[in-house]
Amino acid sequence: MANFVLNRRNLLAAGGSVLAAGVSGLLLPARAQGLVPTPSMSGGSNNYLKGAPTVDRIGKGGFWMSGTVRRAGDGAPLAGQRIQIWAHTTEGQEHEPHSHGATLTDKNGAFRLEMPQIIPIFGQPHGHLAYDSGEFKTVFLRPVMRSAKETSLEAHFVLQPA
Amino acid sequence: MRLAKATLIWAVLAAAVCVPIAAAAASPLLAWRGPVYILAGFAGIIALGLMLVQPLLIAGYLPGLSAYRGRRAHHWIGGALAVAVLVHVGGLWITSPPDMIDALLFASPTPFSPWGVIAMWAIFAVALLAALRRRLGLGPRTWRIAHMSLAVVIVVGSVVHGMLVEGAMETVSKTALCALVLAAAIKVMADLRVWRKRT
Mean pLDDT of A109-121: 96
How would DSSP label each residue in B78-90?
Answer: HHHHHHHHHHHHH
Q: What confidence tens digit (pLDDT) does each residue in B20-51 have?
A: 999 999 999 999 999 999 999 999 999 999 99
B99–A43 C-beta distance less than 8 A: yes
Pairwise CA distance, residues A100 & A90, whole Å: 13
CATH architecture of A63-159: Sandwich (2.60)
Pairwise CA distance, residues A11 & A30, whole Å: 27
pLDDT value of position B75: 96
A47–B110 C-beta distance less than 8 A: no
Q: How many CB atoms lie within 10 A of CB A75?
A: 12
User: Please, which residues bridge with residue A118 across strands?
Assistant: A89
Inform me whether the pLDDT recorded for A31 exceeds 70. Answer: no
Mean pLDDT of B116-121: 98
Per-residue HEC secondary structure of chain A comes to CCCCCCCHHHHHHHHHHHHHHHHHHHHCCCCCCCECCCCCCCCCCCCCCCCCCECCECCCCCEEEEEEEEECECCCECCCCEEEEEECECCECCCCHHHEEEEECCCCCEEEEEECCECCECCECEEEEEECCCCECCEEECCECCCCCCCEEEEEEEECEC
pLDDT value of position B1: 73
Q: Please report residues of B whose CB lies closer than 8 A to that of A121.
A: 96
End-to-end CA distance of chain B: 36
pLDDT value of position B191: 87
Inform me whether the pLDDT recorded for A46 exceeds 80. Answer: yes
Distance to chain B for A123, nearest Cα, Å: 5
Pairwise CA distance, residues B86 & B92, whole Å: 10
Q: So where are chain A's domains?
A: 63-159
Q: Please report residues of A whose CB lies closer than 8 A to that of B95.
A: 93
- Name which of A46, A98, A95, A49 is nearest B34 in CA terms: A95
Inform me whether the pLDDT recorded for A116 exceeds 60. Answer: yes
pLDDT value of position A18: 46
Distance of CA B115 to the CA centre of its chain: 13
B96–A122 C-beta distance less than 8 A: yes
Q: Among residues 58-117 of chain A, which lie with CB inside 8 Å of chain B?
A: 88-90, 93-95
Strands (E), chain B: none
pLDDT value of position B195: 61
Pairwise CA distance, residues A152 & A117, whole Å: 8
B112–A123 C-beta distance less than 8 A: yes
Task: Give, in degrees to the nearest 5, the angle at Cα A32 between A29 and A36.
Answer: 65
- Whether the full predicted model's pTM is greater than 0.90, yes or no, is no
Mean pLDDT of A80-103: 96
Share of chain B above pLDDT 70, in %: 96
Distance to chain B for A57, nearest Cα, Å: 20
A119–B99 C-beta distance less than 8 A: no
